[in-house]
Structure 1
Amino acid sequence: MDGPMKRIFLPLTLGVALVAQAGAALADVITLKPGHPDSYVVKKGDTLWDISAHFLNDPWRWPSLWGNNPQIANPHLIYPGDRLSLVFVDGQPRLVRKPVVRKSPEGRIQTKGDAVPAIDLALIQPYLIQNRVVDADWFEEQPLVLGGETQSRHHIVGQTVYVDGVLPVGQKVGFYSEGRDFSRHESGEDLGQEVILTSTGQVTASGDVSSVKLMSSFRETKAGDRMLVLDDTSLLPVYFMPKAAEVTEPAYVLASGIDVREMGKLDVVYIDRGQRDGVTPGDVFAIVREGDEVVLGHNGVPIPSTDRSTYDRLMSNISDSRTYKLPGNYHGNLMVFKVFDNTSLGLIMVNERSVRVNDRLETPQPPLLGE
């Protein structure tokens, strides 16, 4: 079939039930892409997702493609120049690695370079470092920037700012400004406040008002910003092992990373589930657009929601039996890379249609027959 195969998603409760009935065997099924190569030489700039996309319809299933393979015990240790060959083990496709080597008086030397990452970390690095979602009341209790050594309203790298609070000399800190307030799509439950890193600094003098020298800057720091202790783990490179997210309650796209209406491949999004809901980095969600609700007019012609206002008077006389909920449509996949208490950040890895706020998130379905 030419072009991407259309996937239709049933309402959440039924969809989850059908996936559960499919059994563990289907859950681990991986389907090779038509026209896949028999081998591939890893290039500089490749990611594990990119490589798997040459072979699989669902690239996030690469742990299965490279699983149970002593030659690729850790797929994060694939290097540019390695040749990956497709073989079958017990009827299942597997990739085996043949490192590119050269002969010299010193012996056989493997190609040097950085290991291939799961995804392009440059796409998410700003979010790994800069974005947090915290309790709004807690944030208001954190040390406050009172001003700086200059009369300027904004302060930049190399300048000193003054903070309300006794701080340990030498401590590394970050300054954050308020972002958006998040709430759950259906219930309105408060999910926390987005806070955005403006700069980092180091405490140089301690007292009732402490001095902090700004060491790096992402945007200008100003009076009224709050100070938080930096989490050093957020500054380290992160590798992800993707797995299907388990969705047992309705979950949705909460917001875009940069506050735009529509999102696509390699855009960052917030979702309305986090650590308290069991979400972990590497979880993969299917993104589904809710199906429209149509009604039948007295002439038997279906009326879509976009035309509903024209029929407000008519709607009051239509029974529920003449109202139909259409199935949802698959719009893509996202993978979670950072988790907060009630929310998470994810990267859209595949999209067949645009993604919007309030699109539904589901457990990825097993491959359709023929895919």
Structure 2
Amino acid sequence: MLPIALVTGALAVACAQPPAPPAAPRSEPPLLTAPAPLRLRSDAPQRYTVQPGDTLWEIAGRYLEQPWRWPEIWQANPQLRNPHLIYPGNVLELYYERTGPGTGATAARGRPRVRVQPGAGGTVRLSPQIRVEALNDAVPTVPRDAVAGFLRQAVVTGSDDWGSMPYLLASPDDRFTLMAGDLVYARGLGSGRRNWHIVRPSGEYLDPDSGASLGFYAIDVGDAELQAGGDPATLRITSARREVRPGDRLMPAEAEESRFYFTPKPVPAGTDGRIVAMFEGLGRIGQYQTAVLNLGSANGIEVGHVLNASVGGRAIQDPYSRDEDPTVQLPDLPSATLMVYRVFGNVSYALVMHARRPISVGDRVGPPAP
């Protein structure tokens, strides 16, 4: 307990203070913008049986005009270990969930939802157990063959210091180019890891606006398997997508299967970026090809983020204008929808899901249209 003298003194000081100014009226927080209504396709099926070879994006496109909004209608199956995954043989059912009185047609029918039809297509019966599903049997978000190669060559570092990576030293017979099946010696492995990717330092990504470095990248060369440890270690080249050479770098082979499964979602409002490169040096790309964006984890980009690309409008001279400056900036034209499947610090790789017109380096990317 404080001494009475201290309490009395504190009260005297408080009483001597001028009265506090009246509190400013509290302003109400800004209202959040309501999400745009879901646009269900007019030909959305009442029931659809999932086929081998389907992708989540294709299935979502059967129901929605904006496939990236699939999570808003999907009713996850709580009986499965991976409730958001869909498997061949599942029968999907479109139904409407009443959400309240409301007004208009939506209130009359309710909110559209899609679920696995109870009792059909391998749906598990209600029970306390969790059904174990093999991940590689599930429907992938994007076509596996469209991104598998790019996942292997998705190597971006923040500096041009490739010297710290393990590397191929020489072949037993001193050949300069090697192929699948050949033995090769390597240094710097530092572990007994069995499987390795072979990559080759290739170039640098630059921001098209500032010219700043976004990272240094390598290209995919092949795969190798450890035969004997040591320094140097002995590897056998198991596959070669280019000629393998001494000096090529090695990186641990990662399990790629789980990278095919993710949930599409729109990038945050205000996201603004550019396409900085195309794989394989292509000047223009189309559906199921990969674009490199100058947006990465530093910009809040995540795997599954969906963006729209647009072709910048030209600046032209209006020959009919009476203005002192007759220059007119034509509006941008939407060109494609992209979905991010690999993210680094300052760049990300995005797959072209739908292309309205050819996409080029320099095209802008931002949130998809509502």
Partner of 1:44: 52
Q: Which letter does structure 2 place at the counterpart of 1:182?
A: Y
Whether contact under 8 Å (2:224, 2:235) holds in the other structure is: no
Q: 1:332 to 1:38 in 2, by over 3 A?
A: same
For 1:176-187, what aligned pairs fall within 5 Å after superposition? 176-187=199-210
Q: Does 1:93 align with 2:101?
A: no
Query: Within 5 A, what are the aligned runs for 1:267-346?
Result: 267-297=289-319, 300=321, 319=324, 321-346=325-350
Matched residue, 1:221:
244
After superposition, the Cα gap between the structure-2 partners of 1:196 and 1:236, relative to the gap in structure 1 and judged at 3 Å, is farther
TM-score normalised per structure 1: 0.76
Residue 43 of structure 1: SS of its match in structure 2? coil
Structure 2 contact 271–366 (Cα < 8 Å) conserved: no
Gaps of 5+ in 2: 1-29, 100-109, 123-130
- Cα deviation for residue 70 of structure 1 reads 5.8
2:154–2:342 Cα contact (<8 Å) kept = no
- 1:162 CA drift (Å): 2.4
**Greater CA deviation, 230-239 or 172-181?**
230-239
Task: Decide which of 249, 257, 261 is 1:239's aligned counterpart.
Answer: 261
Q: CA deviation at 1:249?
A: 5.4
Q: How many residues align?
A: 317
Report the TM-score, using the length of structure 2 for normalisation. Answer: 0.76
1:80 aligns with 2:88: yes
Structure 2 counterpart of 1:294, which letter? I
Of 35, 59, 63, the residue aligned with 1:26 is: 35
More relative contact order, 1 or 2 (CA 8 Å, 6+ apart): 1
Aligned residues of 2:208 and 2:274 also touching (Cα < 8 A): yes
Match of 1:350, SS? strand
Cα distance, 1:237 vs structure 2: 4.6
> Which one has a larger percent strand, Structure 1 or Structure 2?
1
- Residues 127-276 of structure 1 aligned to structure 2 (within 5 Å): 127-165=150-188, 167-170=190-193, 172-198=195-221, 199-202=223-226, 204-207=228-231, 209-228=232-251, 230-234=252-256, 236-246=258-268, 248=270, 250-276=272-298
CA deviation map 1:313-369 (0-9, x unaligned) = xxxxx85x4322222111121000011221111111112222111110011121xxx
Q: C-alpha displacement at 1:183, in angstroms?
A: 0.4
Which blocks of at least 5 consecutive residues in structure 1 are unaligned?
A: 1-20, 103-109, 302-317, 367-371
**RMSD of the TM alignment (CA)?**
3.0
After superposition, the Cα gap between the structure-2 partners of 1:101 and 1:352, relative to the gap in structure 1 and judged at 3 Å, is closer
Of all paired residues, the percent bearing the same amino acid is 28
**CA 1:93 to 1:283, structure 2 compared with 1: closer, same or farther past 3 Å?**
same
Q: What is the CA distance between 1:71 and its match in structure 2?
A: 8.1
Q: Structure 1 residues 37, 239: CA separation in 2 closer, same or farther (over 3 Å shift)?
A: same
Change in CA separation of 1:170 and 1:350 when aligned onto 2, cut-off 3 Å: closer
**1:226-267 deviations in whole A, cap 9, x for unaligned?**
233x15244645311111112545301122222212111111
- 1:243–1:25 Cα change, 3 Å: same
Secondary structure of 2:34's partner? helix
Q: Separation in 1 of the partners of 2:332 and 2:229?
A: 58
1:285: how far off?
0.6
Whole-angstrom distance in 1 between the partners of 2:254 and 2:234? 21
Contact kept, 8 Å, 2:199 with 2:248, in 1: the verdict is yes
Distance 1:126 1:50 in 2: 21
Q: Quickly say closer, same or farther: Cα 1:159–1:342, change in 2 above 3 A.
A: same
Q: Is the 8 A contact 1:40 1:85 kept in 2?
A: yes
Do the aligned residues in 1 keep the contact of 2:305 with 2:339 (CA within 8 Å)?
yes
Whole-Å separation in 2 of the counterparts to 1:167 and 1:157: 23
SS of corresponding position for 2:211: coil
User: Which amino acid in the other structure matches residue 25 of structure 1?
Assistant: A
CA distance in 2, matches of 1:166, 1:338: 25
CA distance in 2, matches of 1:173, 1:74: 29
Q: Deviations over 1:45-71 (max 9, x none)?
A: 111111111111111111111147768
Q: 8 Å contact 1:129–1:235 — kept in the other structure?
A: no
After superposition, the Cα gap between the structure-2 partners of 1:140 and 1:128, relative to the gap in structure 1 and judged at 3 Å, is same
